[in-house]
Structure 1
């Protein structure tokens, strides 16, 4: 993977005659070092319909300056972006192309804007000579490609040093505003260039706004939620590829939320069109689930093993658990990335776009959203009630474990249904989702224990075959059994609080 840098910066409007004030009057700034002017030449790339710009992502190839090369920037928060760098080359590096796959798909990126900048840099140092921030005055010449309109402007950019306190940006900003230099309305140079060179009446990102549907209708409410989850899948794809914390889990949740919505709101969207999509979402969630399930299971076993007194940790249990986890994690990640690199995955994304562009709305889609969504949530609640009642009617054992797992899936679906209805139903849906989540969490704890017991038995067999004692594995197995029993005994009371709408 290419080098990644967290970029924390502020941008300000300026003119060619803007005067940068004395920055040594800023707290903690002892010295300002003038680095001189550097000429930068950057070509920004995007799809022809500007999909990257629509999501505030920038991709450029830049020459000049100490960091020339390819730069791919993902927004993190206001004024914060992750910049992923790759060496200068004539073509887009494969590592960066992979991070754009969910947006570019089978298409290509092409030059859309060229920016030539004269950058006058000042380094802000503290009393020890350590870098706090860099301030640059950029005189920018932009041209829309190929051969389109031009734009010219001057801006001031202040970027915090890697290890510096970001509050330095507030202090510098306060000083700049005192001399009349105001924050920029554009989040990036590319955004400003597109805005300045876009013909009147067109959107700077090149795409029409998504039709919201008739306000207040069930169709509008459901499509808004479907659009949100489909967008989350696209947005989380590069986070999974970068192996960011919790990214696999969040992508899997988006798949499950979307699949649940397509099932729950079949009265709004025709199931002949949505059922095949649901099967593909199930496939993708399953491929991602291997990695997520391994992550959860390994963390659970490590935590439980840490709770065992040292005198009861017999044999090389930590080493065996580490070896088991390393092998399984590597295989699981390989499987998740293979799914994201597959043609099947891209076809799924294209089909989701097609669904949103021309939604297969049924008659109920034109009805009042509150009535239709409330009815669907009640139906999922009744489904959950039937599964919980069935599970509680069974004697403890394998069949009850299976039934409780099915109840857990029903609880998750009911909770997702309520989450989708929250913008329409408000506080009642939020309250219902919170109560059902408690049921889901309890059943999830039970199911995690069931899976953990199976794994502990496998580890015990491996240890026995290697001539090691299996005492600690058996101890952990017994504790998991006790925890599962406690969850089952707690279920009736937790369910009673969620049983009424």
Structure 2
């Protein structure tokens, strides 16, 4: 078994050709340039059982050789456990999988159901380069992912560490980024192949569970969490380009999760290079915000009112205006994810997680914080944050919107933190108590979210009233916000009661 450590960069085919011809790269690689045609067939059950357990099985044809490869994602996409063996024929040899991540899944039923699900057909140019003490292989891949009914193009650069330090990989990625337009690719070929099989290549992408070993350090846990949050928001860029409201929502959730992770581990990141990154994450969140705000206002509030007031011309006029504002906001969100600034943000985030200066900060305190066992860190931080929220929830009724919004953000961060550390949760008895806390936090966030939506809607109403003072729109906005003001009283009571439940659950 080996552990594959790599960064994957997405680019256009023209940029890929330009990268391969870079004089400085050709000089570094010398005579090591090699061309290969790789056809890889991925196997799974009709229900995609292997994929659902984080395992991939492929048979790759390389010239006259057949190579069976089993991979298991281990926390972050940049590190994967890998088992590779030469075989004869084009079908998997499952008897060779005995000591791999695939072995626990190989019941008789699954063995009988394994079948080809998709293939990748790739032309690969590889270069072996040395920088410092590191030996690195660059693979320039062009080709297609093929299913029985569809296909998707491949154009990417893989930078794989053969031996040495990660720093060499990061430096090479940065130099490539200064020479040609590249960005971080959040999805492996197998992930894109499975999405193509399911017809979800352009669909919104959701968060997935994070597996953290109890023996992991705080540093290892942060990297695993950070890369999953990066994958979550980066993989939604296609859905955002298509104007999918859920894609915008999921990208914002991914951004908030990453910002929550930075807050959760901020002690060991002091003095590092994350300050600029935080600013860029805020920028992108703000670019997506208006589209989400208008969508919630129209979908959750205006549409139900329209259905019960079908003859009210005032609401028809308001709906037309809000649809116009929403389309403009969607266009702004699309422009943001198509910008060079967005592509730079993806790569910068990946590189800071992969080999940021925080990894090697020699300060004794920060070194000690990085090496702490994550189990103790998680328990202490979750308890501290939960007690603070339970205390603040008592005063919700007297808070102004700004302070109440801060409580809402604190609740979100705590919920994300509990999701990050879910794999570290205690036994069944402890999990029952944990579920009570999760339900209380969910209810509290929901109540505070409704109150925040009302505040946002009121702000939008005032903005629209200044832009257009037509009486019909003014009446409709007044009616809409009046309805929400009446609802707010019930929601305050619910939020305060939920806060009491949370205090009792601690």
Contact 1:217 1:366 in 2 (8 A): yes
TM superposition score normalised by structure 2: 0.56
CA distance in 1, matches of 2:262, 2:414: 13
Contact 1:446 1:487 in 2 (8 A): yes
TM superposition score normalised by structure 1: 0.57
CA distance in 2, matches of 1:265, 1:422: 16
CA distance in 2, matches of 1:287, 1:433: 30
Q: Which runs of 5+ in 1 are unaligned?
A: 1-47, 53-58, 60-90, 98-103, 117-141, 156-176, 195-201
Count residues with an aligned counterpart: 341
User: 1:68-467 alignment to 2 at 5 Å?
Assistant: 183-184=114-115, 187-190=118-121, 207-208=160-161, 215-244=215-244, 246-270=246-270, 272-306=272-306, 308-310=308-310, 313=312, 315-318=313-316, 320-359=317-356, 360-361=358-359, 362=366, 363-392=368-397, 394=398, 400-425=400-425, 427=431, 431-456=436-461, 465-466=469-470
Contact 1:248 1:288 in 2 (8 A): yes
Corresponding residue SS for 1:246: helix
Distance 1:307 1:457, change over 3 A: farther
Higher Rg: 1
Q: Deviations over 1:180-203 (max 9, x none)?
A: x98545731438x88xxxxxxx99
CA distance in 2, matches of 1:378, 1:353: 30
- Quote the offset at 1:369 in angstroms: 1.2
Q: RMSD value over aligned CA atoms?
A: 4.4
Distance 1:51 1:150, change over 3 A: farther
Distance 1:51 1:348, change over 3 A: closer
Q: Deviations over 1:402-421 (max 9, x none)?
A: 32222111111111121112
Corresponding residue SS for 2:272: helix
Q: For structure 1, which segment, 410-419 or 431-440, has the greater mean C-alpha deviation from structure 2 after superposition? A: 431-440
Q: Which runs of 5+ in 2 are unaligned?
A: 1-5, 23-33, 40-59, 67-87, 92-108, 125-136, 140-157, 167-211, 360-365
Q: Deviations over 1:364-411 (max 9, x none)?
A: 22122111111122232244235434434x2xxxx6233222211111
Distance 1:480 1:108, change over 3 A: farther
Corresponding residue SS for 1:190: strand
CA distance in 1, matches of 2:485, 2:21: 55
The residue number in structure 1 matching 2:497 is 493
Contact 1:259 1:281 in 2 (8 A): yes
CA distance in 1, matches of 2:488, 2:382: 29
Q: Deviations over 1:291-347 (max 9, x none)?
A: 111211111232341354457x3x3421x2232223212221222123223333233
The residue number in structure 2 matching 1:44 is none
Q: Deviations over 1:154-184 (max 9, x none)?
A: 89xxxxxxxxxxxxxxxxxxxxx9xxx9854
Corresponding residue SS for 1:273: coil
- Quote the offset at 1:113 in angstroms: 6.2
Corresponding residue SS for 1:187: strand
Q: Deviations over 1:59-118 (max 9, x none)?
A: 9xxxxxxxxxxxxxxxxxxxxxxxxxxxxxxx969xxx9xxxxxx9x96899976589xx
Contact 1:260 1:417 in 2 (8 A): yes
Distance 1:358 1:432, change over 3 A: farther
- Quote the offset at 1:441 in angstroms: 0.7
